[in-house]
Amino acid sequence: MEPSNSLSQAEIIPILSRATIFTGIGLIEQKMLADKCVIANYRPEEIVIEQGEIGDKLYIIIRGTVQVSIKTQSMGWKRINTLGPGDVFGEIAILRNIRRTARISTITACQFLTITARDFLAVYQYFPARARDNIQLVVAKRLQESGAHVRL
């Protein structure tokens, strides 16, 4: 990971508003999240999140592509998804208070907005009910698709 210059709130809010997981949150909540965001840069082929780790932040992809892999008993690492700009990852461990359900590694050079678990949960409580419901549906769908909740 490399250090980076920060973005202004005005630059961060459009990134947050394009992330489908945040559908339904208002401008006030977007500003609250934007104030907590930190930029992180990764080179190609770096591990961002390791399956089984304790989750301490979530990531929103600004630029680049990552692969989502899970460890299987028979096949080793199995790619289950590819994510790109606007996608969010790392939220499952934070919202469900479980260990990381997958490995996330960069395919290309990537830039992320990151939000610590503590900061995200502090703002999450102010999200409208429909926005919290949307996030929980996304989390449940990802858990079902990966089957990771059974393997950990």
Global pTM value = 0.85
**Residue at 2 is within a domain:** no
**Residue at 147 is within a domain:** no
Helix-, strand-, coil-residue percentages of the chain, each rounded to 5: 40, 30, 30
Q: So what's the pLDDT on residue 138?
A: 84
Q: So what's the pLDDT on residue 72?
A: 86
Find the domain containing 138 and state its range.
9-142
Residues 6+ apart with CB under 8 A from 75: none
CA 8 to centroid of chain Cα atoms: 20
Is the pLDDT score of 150 beyond 60?
A: no
Domains of the chain: total = 1
Q: How many CA atoms lie within 13 A of 74 on its CB side?
A: 0
Is the pLDDT score of 20 beyond 70?
A: yes
**Residue at 3 is within a domain:** no
**Residue at 96 is within a domain:** yes
